[in-house]
Amino acid sequence: MTATLIRNADIITMDANTHATPVRRDLRIADGCFTEIGTNLEARPGETVIDGTGMLVTPGFVNAHTHSWEYLYKGRYDNMPLELWMAYSYPILGGSPTPPDLIRLRTLMFAMESMKSGVTTLIDDVLETPGQDLDQLAAVAGAYSDIGIRANVSGHIINRPFVDTLPFVADWLPEEVVRQVRQAPTLTAVEYLDYSRDAFRRHHGTAGGRIRYMLAPSGPQRCTDDLLVGAASLSAEFDAEVHIHVLETKTQAVTGDELYGGRTLVQHLDEIGALNPRTTFAHGIWVTGDDIERIARSGVSVSHNAISNLKLGSGILPWRDYQDAGVNLGLGTDGCSSSDTPRLMEVMKTAALLHKVTEPDFERWPTVPDVLNAATIGGARSGVLDQTIGSIEVGKRADLVMFDTTTLAFLPTNRLENHLVYSENGSSIVRVMVDGVVTVEHGRLTLVDEDAVLAAFREIMPRIREEQDRLDAVNEVFAPAFARMHMESARRQMPVNRWTGDERTWVGAHARA
């Protein structure tokens, strides 16, 4: 493997010493790892030397929650709350299995746009409708392996009938629709865990360790308790992430009350023993103070998906409450149907800005180091990867992004880290490396023929849109009941008064200034 020496670059290490403050250093990479960080390092025979003058080097960004499946739905929907939007983006009725060749193409498209914007690691919660098989999973893993990105790839599972995972709607939908949904096959916990063991054997640690399998019970309300507990146990066996959607919307907060006798979803997960430091909650908006204490005590991470949460009207994660409790936070784009972007830099800026309007105490607003931490080492921690990536330190894998600081985005060159979060949009990226291998050079992918991928994708798009139109028409039947459920759940959760001190008061969800 080629050895590389980057000289005289400004480096944001995100390590315990310099953290988000840029330092002028040389950086040596060999065998896919950072091997030396210092000044005036001498080039060795055979090394590729890169002049880092005028360059900012950062750890590769970690997208801590996304769904590559949704790439086909980017730019399709607007002004829908989550549960109504899911009826279309994740069609409940009428879906047919997606062929592996389309899954591979879809995944390559998603990875291309991600990596060209500085994302070197994806936590990809892959869901196929009506269900995922091992060939479909292999298509995702193979695409990521070929393009050179790092990824945790899931088997996403819902093993309860969808209408029984939501409050009220089973009584509001036509009886025939309810019967049809309940007759759809679902996996038992044993079947899912057996599938996952096979997936671990086939994919976990492949591509030189870049590809890992993770467990993904969709949400506590969508999965049986034996599956939730079994996934937590299996994660320990393989030291793998368990990725769960928790309390994304007001409806999900109401669901906890309805399904678990007034207990929250977090309380239920904690009491059945389904939480551990390998667990990541996607979203975690509608949490109580007690929920946050349980999350912190269990070592659970939370992925903050600010753009998706805003577009779907889900609410605002209580950033500083989590930070004060010591909860590890990552940043995620969520899927391209709910956020319309796989570019994590957009989430970084949104997260940095959003919480400045949620309370008047400006000393509690997110700082640039807070946000960069979540985009790098925090995301790595959520993916059980923090011993491998997330910071530029000797011994860690060489995942990095190089920015040209002579561009307009970095002028007049005040604080580089502030420019990075607030001014840069990815247009200044000149190079991306994963495992010490250059995967993007001056805006072009190096390991796949992106023009060929784009041409193949454009060719099939008319057929994809035709099928999407058909599925939308089939699933329109859910719209009235789901819209009614959304409004009823909102009524039950409002008004919210964070300052009462009541332990059942919701601390997320809306601007609090």
Tens digit of each residue's pLDDT (9 = 90 or more) over 60-77: 999 999 999 999 999 999
Tell me the average pLDDT across 328-334. 98
Confidence (pLDDT) at 492: 82
- Please compute the mean of the pLDDT values over residues 458-479 and round it to a whole number: 96
Task: State what percent of residues in the chain have pLDDT above 90.
Answer: 92
Average of pLDDT values for 451-467? 97
Out of 91-95, 245-249, 297-301, 324-328, pick the least confident. Answer: 91-95
Q: What's the whole-number average pLDDT of the chain?
A: 94
Tens-digit pLDDT profile for residues 125-142 = 999 999 999 999 999 999
Residue 74 CB partners (closer than 8 Å, separation 6+): 336, 337, 340, 341
Write the DSSP symbol of residue 353.
H
Q: Please tell me the distance from the alpha carbon of residue 381 to that of residue 16, in angstroms, as a whole number.
A: 14
Distance CA 208, CA 331 (A): 25
Contacts of 225 (CB under 8 A, 6+ apart): 272, 274
Instruction: For residues 258-265, give the mean pLDDT.
Output: 89
How far, in Å, are 141, 144, 268 from residue 154 at the CA level?
10, 13, 23
Q: Is the pLDDT of residue 507 over 60?
A: no
For the chain, the residue count is 513
- Among the listed residues 63, 19, 473, 99, the one whose alpha carbon sits nearest the alpha carbon of residue 303: 63
Q: Which two tokens stand for residue 157?
A: 């599972």
Average pLDDT of the segment spanning 322-342? 97
Average pLDDT over residues 285-308: 97
pLDDT grade, residue 512 (50/70/90)? Answer: very low
Cβ-based neighbours of 467, under 8 Å, separated by 6 or more? none
Say which range, 172-181, 249-258, 477-486, has the weakest mean pLDDT: 249-258
Q: Which helix (H) or strand (E) holds 438?
A: strand 437-441
> Which residue is it, tokens 């389904």?
274
Instruction: Give the number of other Cβ atoms within 10 Å of residue 464's Cβ.
Output: 15
Tokens 């959607």 belong to residue = 245
DSSP state for residue 512 in the 8-state scheme: -
Whole-number Å distance between alpha carbons of 319 and 364: 9
Average pLDDT over residues 191-199: 98
User: Which band of pLDDT confidence, cut at 50, 70 and 90, is reported for residue 503?
Assistant: very low
Q: Angle at the Cα of 162 (from 157 to 163), degrees rounded to 5?
A: 165
When pLDDT is averaged across residues 321-338 and rounded to a whole number, the result is 97
Q: Which amino acid is at 393?
A: E
The answer to which of 89-98, 114-123, 195-204, 280-289 has the lowest mean pLDDT is 89-98
Whether 405 shows a pLDDT value over 50: the answer reads yes
pLDDT value, residue 256: 85
Query: Band of the pLDDT at 359, cuts 50, 70, 90?
Result: confident
Query: What's the pLDDT score for residue 434?
Result: 98
Mean pLDDT of 333-362: 96
Average pLDDT over residues 284-310: 97
Q: Could you state, in order of their start, the residue ranges of all structural domains in the chain? A: 61-357
| Nearest C-alpha neighbor of 193 from the set 165, 224, 162, 164 | 224
pLDDT band at 200 (very low <50, low <70, confident <90, very high): very high
Instruction: Indicate the range of 254-263, 301-310, 339-348 predicted with least confidence.
Output: 254-263
How much is the pLDDT for 1?
63
The answer to whether the beta carbons of residues 153 and 271 sit under 8 Å apart is no
Is the Cβ–Cβ distance between 387 and 15 less than 8 Å? no
Cβ–Cβ < 8 Å for 382, 280: yes
Q: Residue 306: what pLDDT?
A: 98
Q: What pLDDT was estimated at residue 426?
A: 96
Residue 509: pLDDT above 60? no
Sign, CA dihedral 33-35-39-41, equals negative
Does the pLDDT at position 258 exceed 90?
A: no
CA separation for the pair 324, 79 (Å, rounded): 33
Is the pLDDT at 470 greater than 90? The verdict is yes
Report CA dihedral (135, 194, 66, 283) to the nearest 10 degrees: 160
Residue 5 has pLDDT above 60, yes or no: yes
Which CATH fold topology does 61-357 show?
A: TIM Barrel (3.20.20)
| Radius of gyration of the chain measured on its C-alpha atoms | 22
Q: What pLDDT does 504 receive? A: 41
- What is the percentage of the chain residues whose pLDDT exceeds 70? 96
For range 433-453, the mean pLDDT:
97
